[in-house]
Structure 1
């Protein structure tokens, strides 16, 4: 009972920090405390970037969250990327224009995650490009990011708490238009 209470407190604190509903994790803690503790420990691996810069790590993580179609998980991952210093304009470029105008590292991180998730036959070439750019440790960081971006949304959906209808891309596009209008009116 005490462990479940501590886990739920930690989940609620995390949720409050990011405006993210951790109710599914709290429910899981009531169902099986030991199992939930193990789920929480997954983050020790998936949050480890293996020396990879924040931009490509979060590009892979955001791509995976988007592919699993959980709006609140995508918003959470974007908030974490912003907290790590990834510029919002780069996140928008990656999500809204197919990474055509995103910085090279972000585009490659996205391309990696897409290839892994789709089991793309081009994956060996993409892996080689990533390893040439970031080394084996960097590839491990991309793998952890891709797993992380998929893991929690799939767990959440599997527990019956999925929410695909949150319009994150519309929010990003609208936010970009507002910023553009502000820049124009300031100029």
Structure 2
């Protein structure tokens, strides 16, 4: 960051989001300094994706977690671990997903997590996972989860583009 920024509604919103997700958002402060309003636009994108979800929040958060485990190895994975826990996903289930012990997951959480991963990895199983989700929750749910997965991948992309991503071999997440 280039210096101490005066308190603004944008910085207050970033600080509130950090409290919610449990991870620093330095890249958003950088954005706010270079292009005032840009970090608020990021939050608006997130709000639009979360609005009127037709799938249970734990399934959506597991789909986002699956996407970020394929996309990122750092803070973004931690964010979705934290959000999955806040959505009521049991710690043991989050841990099982991160350790690729999918048979330990309840069907709905497994569907969500594996869908997020297969989309992010462009895995040939994508159509099968999407069909299973649609059969379980309906077509609107598939659309909603597609947006959740896209949003989960969006943030690591922005961070990388701004030079805020970290390279690491494995996510060191706290559960």
Which TM-score band (shorter chain)?
0.7 to 0.9
Inter-partner Cα distance in structure 1 for 2:62 and 2:28: 25
Deviation of 1:43 after TM superposition, in Å, equals 0.7
Q: Given the alignment, which residue of 1, 6, 9 partners 2:12?
A: 9
2:158 is aligned, of 155, 159, 170, to 155
- Structure 1: how far apart are the matches of 2:152 and 2:142? 15
Looking at secondary structure, tell me which structure has more helix per residue: 1
| Gap runs ≥5 in structure 2 | 1-6
> Of 52, 56, 66, which aligns to 1:53?
56
Per-residue Cα deviation, 1:124-163 (whole angstroms, up to 9, x for no partner):
2322211110001211221122112211112112111112
**Displacement, 1:119?**
2.4
1:34-113, aligned counterparts within 5 Å?
34-48=37-51, 50-113=53-116
Q: Is 1:118 aligned with 2:130?
A: no
Unaligned runs of 5+ in 1: 173-187
Measure the CA separation in 1 of the matches of 2:147 and 2:52: 7
Which string of whole-angstrom CA distances, capped at 9 and with x for unpartnered residues, describes residues 16-50 of structure 1? 34331111111101111243332221111233362
TM-score (norm 2): 0.85
Alignment match, 1:142: 145
Is 1:26 matched up with 2:44? no
User: What is the TM-score of this pair, normalised by structure 1?
Assistant: 0.80
The alpha carbon displacement at 1:115 in A equals 2.1
Displacement of 1:171 in angstroms is: 4.9
- How many residues are matched? 169
CA distance in 1, matches of 2:120, 2:82: 22
How many Å apart are 1:170 and its aligned residue? 6.8
The structure with the larger Rg is 1
Q: What is the aligned partner in structure 2 of residue 131 from structure 1?
A: 134
